Amino acid sequence: MSERLSPETRGPLLDPLLKTGWTLAEGEDAICKTFEFENFVEAFGWMTRVAIWAEKWNHHPEWRNVYKTVEVTLTTHDVGGLSALDPKLARKMDGLAGH
């Protein structure tokens, strides 16, 4: 079971992500990022690779795709906010996008 990030762990886990374009959501304990790709094939190809990791880790994103853009929100509903799974998936998303 995951648990909500403690005040002590938030900084070390979240600060690096804030430098790669992630932001803290407003109104909920979540992180967001908009990924831009060259075209739809690149965007959906990236989503497909992310989807396999998400399923493997049983932690799934909220995401919206419009052509070459993917808006992502990550949070852990089971714990009512951010858990260690969120920065883990965020780092994987960045890595798969070459960020």
Q: Which residues pair with 36 in a beta bridge?
A: 69
Token output for 4: 């909500």
Among 14, 24, 25, 51, binds its own copies (CB under 8 A): 51
Query: Of 6-14, 28-36, 46-54, 78-86, which part binds its own copies (CB under 8 A)?
Result: 46-54
Q: From CA 5, how far away is CA 74, in angstroms rounded?
A: 13
Q: Is 57 in the site for its own copies (CB under 8 A)?
A: no
Query: Of 8-16, 24-32, 38-46, 86-94, which part binds its own copies (CB under 8 A)?
Result: 38-46
Closer Cβ to its own copies, 15 or 78, answer by number: 78
Instruction: Tell me if 33 sits within 8 A of 22, measured CB to CB.
Output: yes
Size of the site for its own copies (CB under 8 A): 16
**DSSP assignment letter at 74:** E
How many separate helices (H) and strands (E) can be counted in the chain?
3, 4
Q: Which residues pair with 23 in a beta bridge?
A: 32
Provide the binding-site residues for its own copies, judged by CB under 8 A: 40-41, 44, 47-48, 51, 54-55, 60-67
